[in-house]
Amino acid sequence: MSQRCKLFIIFFFALVIMDCSDKPFPFPEKYDPARDPFADVSAAVNIAQKSGQRILLKVGGDWCIWCHRLDDFIKTNPEIERFLQEKFIMLKINFSQENKNEQFLSQYPKIPGYPHLFVLEKNGSFLHSQDTGVLESGKSYAAEKIMEFLRQWAPGN
């Protein structure tokens, strides 16, 4: 193998390694009963401590209509979606018949309904429990209430 070919291979693998190191942890897009919420929070803490973001746990399940409505609401409100991405690391924590994640959720206040939000500091310590019912408006959510909640719990406040 020529010296030029060896250098190309080394350069190629260096690029691959650099590219992989900058990729964020693959947090779930859906509520997944098979995921380990302890591991997800641990990974989020590692990222949050570097980025200065707080962690927002969205507890619910794919069975939950209001969980889907909250996801859709965020996706269709660019200001809210952008604010969330800048200030928070969002994790979906499954609660379903398949996996109630009782051991994980037992460390937080009782959940009155779903979806439910928990705000954690960048080190993973609990800050706030939020019932999403008070953020609703009709069959959706109120943008001003969601933004007020997010601003109140964003880092630096």
Q: How many CA atoms lie within 13 A of 38 on its CB side?
A: 6
Strand 140-141 versus strand 136-137 pairing type: antiparallel
Per residue in 34-73, is it b (16+ CB within 10 Å) or e — as a string? ebebeebbebbbeebeeeebbbbbbbbbeebebbebbbeb
Question: Does the pLDDT at position 54 exceed 70?
Answer: yes
Which domains are seen in the chain, by residue range? Answer: 26-153 (3.40.30.10)
Q: How far is CA 97 from the centre of its chain?
A: 22
pLDDT at 97: 96
Q: Distance (Å, rounded) from C-alpha 33 to C-alpha 147?
A: 29
Q: Give the chain's mean pLDDT.
A: 88
The model's pLDDT over 125-135, given as tens digits with 9 standing for 90+, comes to 999 999 999 99
Per-residue pLDDT at 17 exceeds 70: no
Q: What pLDDT is stored for residue 22 in this prediction?
A: 45
Q: pLDDT tens for residues 104-126?
A: 999 999 999 999 999 999 999 99
Q: What is the model's pLDDT at position 127?
A: 98
Task: Give me the pLDDT at residue 108, please.
Answer: 98
For 138, the token pair is 């009709």
Predicted confidence band of residue 8 (pLDDT cuts 50, 70, 90) = very low
Q: Whose structure tokens read 């439910």?
A: 116
